[in-house]
Amino acid sequence: MCVTHSLLADWSVSVTWAANSGREGIGRSQTRRGNKQNRSRFVSSRKTVSDILNRRRFVNAPQGEHESPSSTTSLIRVTGSLTFQARTGKFPLTSSDVTTITCGLRMQSTTNYLWLISDLLGQGATANVYRGRHKKTGDLYAVKVFNNLSFLRPLDVQMREFESNTRHKVLVMEYCPCGSLYTVLEESSNAYGLPEDEFLIVLHDVVAGMNHLREYGIVHRDIKPGNIMRVIGEDGCSVYKLTDFGAARELEDDEQFVSLYGTEEYLHPDMYERAVLRKDHQKKYGATVDLWSIGVTFYHAATGSLPFRPFEGPRRNKEVMYKIITEKPSGTISGHQKSENGKIEWSTEMPVSCSLSKGLQSLLTPVLANILEADQEKCWGFDQFFAETNDILHRAVVYVFSLQQATLHHIYIHEYNTAALFQELLSRRTSVPLHNQELLYEGRRLVLDPNRQAKAFPKTSRDNPIMLVSRESVATVGLIFEDPSPPKVQPRYDLDLDASYAKTFAGDVGHLWKTSESLLVYQELVRKGVRGLKFEVLMQANLLSTEYDEISDMHKKVVRISGSLEPIERMTQDLKSKFLVEKIKVLLDAITAIYQQFKKDKAERRLPYNEEQIHKFDKQKLVLHASKARSLFTEECAMKYRLFISKSEEWMRKVHHVRKQLLGLTGQLIGIEKEVTMLMERVIKKLLPLVSSGMKPQAYLSQNTLVEMTLGMKKLKEEMEGVVKELAENNHFLESNPRQCRTNNDIISFYKAAENINQIIDH
């Protein structure tokens, strides 16, 4: 790479500076360690590189780039072996006195694009991908440069849209600065899978991309997280794009192929046998091999791990890997071997650590089970795959929190579905029958007409869901979580092993942090639901106590039960203040920083003595931070959450006892109401004609009839007195509603009417 005299001035210097290509910028020794001598070894020097840069007033540009004020278009990344040579002290230099900067990582260009070889984005068997710029606009692009191996492929594979000015063939593509789906999954926050919203974006974009390919009869043959790129859209949301069509070809649904492509962890079992185990067979492959790769990719995105894992990993134990993927029982979606020569543990469900809701899992699991089929005859076709996945993507989610169970549910439903279907789905998810469901929303009772469509439901969210209260007793479940077991850290110094430890610790502590946040959210939802119940109780109790003196005692009991909520409220507030989510997050950030540094150390392969000692100190801090985070979670977060759930369960048990008495009494009141109505109709039917005609009752009623009516009315009076007494002694109005209030009014009115009629008959 030639740079004119505008970069260097009137000194004579010959310097070779060796900096490791794995480090960005001037070097880790200057930015982090403060020990430049260990990172820079000078062959011959009159001035250090730092002196040269400072004399010419070079400034640090973003991402380790250095820009010369006198040449705004020349950017140099200081990585690799850099040599400065100046042939003369004259300034300015003439055309014959060329000042050059020879960089081990050179610049290449075509007619319209240029790129630094140091800006390597990815490396494959047949090509490297670099970050380049358009010469006129400066826009960033991804430039794929093919090596000599690429010309050994068939000509139809080589046929592309090339931007070429030399013997090098390059493919210019859109630049995706956010990396790939694999990059996202490597982040510690996603070690146990993507959040539900992000996973749905992946599902939508990959399905849309595959649908587009199938419309043109193209099979990709190498679908994996590393070939799904991520960009940020104008709305700030992720957009995922299929890339790397080096193995793609035209293939209709009824056609087959015999060539081998793909990445072994994501290969269809038939292709795995031939490509990885080198076993010849006469099988041909259809377009559905992409479905297997999609299934493995979706499982990886949902859980953070591969669905089929031998004890030592798929790359080290290929025979067991082949056994797992070929012997997978129908309906299962994963198989793990947890010990050497141990049995394979199959599962039809996602692991507990999965971030996806049970509502989404119930829809996604059948899709995975039917595309992860080794037998191509049993595997779904693309039409059914697209139909089922689009059915998921076109559903809306309604958030429901079951108060007694202390669980949050995501109910996926189409907007045109009715409330009757919604409550049926809710019954399946919570095991609360339809006739026992009572709904609250924002502290008020929510009554859904059975024919009301889901699009007319109130807007819900994770923080503002519909509250479900069961009329029958249900067990408290709470948030189900597991504390991942920490790895056994070997004391020996090993860069590869230490990077693996750091990755595991970062993922585990990230999972604990997300779980602790969820525990806090669940507690707040319980508190919100309890407040809604308390409001309903006090409103009904105040209404009844002002109208009837007979139930004033009941009002006192209701107030007393409502007062029992205060300890729960205080406990929740105490937990909120002491829940050390922020401290766990600080520890997670420290662990993540160590993990990132260990990845750089691993790339170095060998560290100087001083940095080796710092690495060992960081390893000790890594274990200490992880242990402290785990202790905060288990001894503070989890323990106090369980105590909170225990207290709320005890309160809910009291509520259920009172509400059960209410339901029983309500049934009795309805029965008595019917009897009173029938009796009054009989009395009115017999007495009104007598009164209107002025005739005496004896002319129409026998003495026996009057006696029977008198005894019946007295019996009814006694029953009504018993009902009123029971109303006064029972604190069943914890969950009473306006209809029940009207029923009580009717009963008392009937009682007074029956007493008046009884007095008439006595006379």
The catalytic site residues sit at 222
Contact 17, 42 (CB under 8 A): yes
Query: What 3-state class would DSSP assign to 580?
Result: coil
CA 757/CA 759 separation, integer angstroms: 5
What are the backbone dihedrals phi and psi of residue 205, each rounded to the nearest 5 degrees, phi first? -70, -40
Which two three-digit tokens encode residue 625?
């931070």
Which secondary structure element, helix H or strand E, spans residue 246, and what is its range? none
Contact 61, 69 (CB under 8 A): no
Is the distance from CB of 174 to CB of 143 less than 8 angstroms?
no
- Coil vs helix vs strand at 144: strand
Amino acid at 665: L
Q: Are 501 and 489 in contact (CB under 8 A)?
A: yes
Q: Which residue is it, tokens 């242990």?
A: 627
CB 439 within 8 A of CB 446: yes
Q: Is 397 helix (H, G, I), strand (E, B) or coil?
A: strand
Cα angle 356, 648, 435 (rounded to 5 degrees) comes to: 70
HEC assignment per residue over 634-682: HHHHHHHHHHHHHHHHHHHHHHHHHHHHHHHHHHHHHHHHHHHHHHHHH
Bridge partner residues of 286 (DSSP): 256
Query: How far is Cα 526 from Cα 569, in angstroms, rounded to an integer?
Result: 10
Enumerate residues 6+ apart whose C-beta is below 8 A from 237.
201
Per the structure block, which two tokens stand in for 235?
């709305």
E strand or H helix at 763: none
Distance CA 135, CA 646 (A): 67
Asked if residue 685 belongs to a known ligand binding site, the reply is no
| Helical spans, DSSP H, in 339-437 | 358-371, 382-393, 419-430
DSSP code of residue 435: G
Phi first, then psi: what are they for 634, rounded to 5°?
-75, -40
To 5 degrees, how large is the angle CA 563–CA 567–CA 570? Answer: 120
In the chain, helix, strand, coil percent, each to 5? Answer: 50, 15, 35
317/571 Cα distance (integer angstroms) = 51
Q: If 0-12 CB within 10 Å is exposed, 13-18 middle and 19+ buried, where does residue 33 land?
A: middle
CA–CA distance, 470 with 652 (Å, rounded to integer): 10
If DSSP codes are grouped into helix, strand and coil, which group holds residue 373?
coil
Length of the chain: 763
User: 210: which 2 tokens?
Assistant: 């595959």
> What does DSSP assign to residue 387?
H
Binding residues for ATP: 144
